[in-house]
Structure 1
Amino acid sequence: MGDRSTQLVTARFRAGYGAPLWHLLLLVGCFAVAGWVVLRLAGEATAVRMLIWFVAAVIVHDLVMFPVYAAADRALLTGTQADVGNGSRPARLSVVNHVRVPALGAALLFVVYLPGILRLGGDTFTAATGLTQQPYLTRWLLISAAMSAVSGLWLAVRRHRVRSRDRR
C-alpha cells in the first residue's frame, strides 16, 4: 500500500506544481547558489554598479533584444520552409535550424568578444596582454562564415538524402 500512496502523492504534486520533484529541488539548489553569490558580493565596493549593470542587461534583453530576435525567428519560420520531394509525395525539409545555429553561434561570439570586435578599451587590452585588438573582427567574421558554410553543406547533404530516398 505504501507504493500506491507514494505514487498518488507524486501524481498530486506533479499536477499541482506542473513538473517533477527533481525540478523543484534543482531550482532550490540554484537559488541557494545565487543567494550565496549575492552574499559574497554584498561586501564588494562595486556591488551597486554590478547590480545596476545586471538589471539594465535584463531590461535591455527582455524589452529590446527578445522581441527583435523573436520576430526574426518568426519571420524565419514562415519564410524558410523548403519543399523537397518528387511531386507525388513531397517531404518537408526545414532549413530553420541551419540558419538558427550559425546565427546563434555568431551572436554568442559577438557578445562574448564585443569589446575586441568593436575595439573598445584598446589601450587597456594592449597594456594587459601586449597584443592589439586588430584580429578580432576578422576572426569573428571568418568563424561566422565557417559556421554558416558548414551548416549550408549539411543542409545540402540532407537535401540530397531526401531526394535520393524519394527517387526509390
Structure 2
Amino acid sequence: MPYRVRLGSPFQLLLLACSFALAAYAGVRLLAGDWFGVALWIVGAALLHDLVLLPLYTVVDRAVTGGLGAAGRRGRTLYVRVPATLSGLLLLVWFPLISGMTAGRYRSATGLSPDGFLARWLLITAALFAGSALVLGWRVRRAAKQRPRVLH
C-alpha cells in the first residue's frame, strides 16, 4: 500500500507557511552581520554535540540504567534523566557566567556582580534532584499502598 500524504486544514497550512516565513526572516537577519562566524558556530555546535556530547551522555545514561538493576526498575531512570537534563541545559545556557569566563563583560554591561552563578546553579540542581526524589518516593509509597497484601 503506497504512502499517502495527508494535507491538513487550510489553517494548518497557513500556520506552517507563516512559521517558515518567520524562520527565513530570522535566518536573513542573523546572517546579515557576520555570516561566516554564525555558520562556523552552527557547524561547530553540531559537531561538538554529535561527536562529543551525545556519546558522553549516552554513556552516563547507560551507567545510570545499569546501576538501577533489574528491568522492573528501569522506569525509575526518568527520575534521574529529567533533573539531569534540566541541570545540563541550565549549565549550557549559563556556562560563561558559571565558569567566570565573562565576568568582566557582565559587570560592565549590567553593573551587577557575576558572583554567585555557580552557587545558584548548584542549588537549582540540588532542588531538581530533591524534587525528583520526593516525587519518586511519593509514587513508590502510593503504589505500595495500592498493592493487595497476601496473607499466608
TM-score, scaled to structure 2:
0.80
Q: Which residue of the partner structure matches residue 96 of structure 1?
A: 77
Structure 2 contact 98–118 (Cα < 8 Å) conserved: yes
Question: Within 2, Cα distance between the matches of 1:55 and 1:13?
Answer: 34
Segments of structure 2 that go 5 or more residues without pairing to the other structure are none
Counterpart amino acid of residue 119 in structure 2: T
Counterpart amino acid of residue 37 in structure 1: A
Q: Which residue of the partner structure matches residue 4 of structure 2?
A: 13
In the TM superposition, 1:4-153 aligns within 5 A as 12-14=3-5, 21-22=7-8, 31-44=20-33, 46-81=34-69, 92-93=72-73, 94-153=75-134
Judged with a 3 Å threshold, the aligned counterparts in structure 2 of structure 1 residues 56 and 75 are, in CA distance, closer, same or farther, namely same
Question: Within 2, Cα distance between the matches of 1:27 and 1:39?
Answer: 18
Segments of structure 1 that go 5 or more residues without pairing to the other structure are 1-7, 15-19, 84-91
| C-alpha RMSD of matched pairs (Å) | 2.7
Question: Within 1, Cα distance between the matches of 2:82 and 2:142?
Answer: 21
Following superposition, the deviation at residue 151 of structure 1 comes to: 0.5
Question: Within 1, Cα distance between the matches of 2:79 and 2:31?
Answer: 44
Q: Over alpha carbons, which structure has the higher Rg?
A: 1
Question: Within 1, Cα distance between the matches of 2:21 and 2:42?
Answer: 19
Structure 2 contact 31–38 (Cα < 8 Å) conserved: no
Following superposition, the deviation at residue 57 of structure 1 comes to: 0.4
Q: What percentage of residue pairs aligned between the two structures are identical?
A: 36
Higher strand share: 1
Structure 1 contact 81–95 (Cα < 8 Å) conserved: no
Following superposition, the deviation at residue 27 of structure 1 comes to: 7.0
TM-score, scaled to structure 1:
0.73
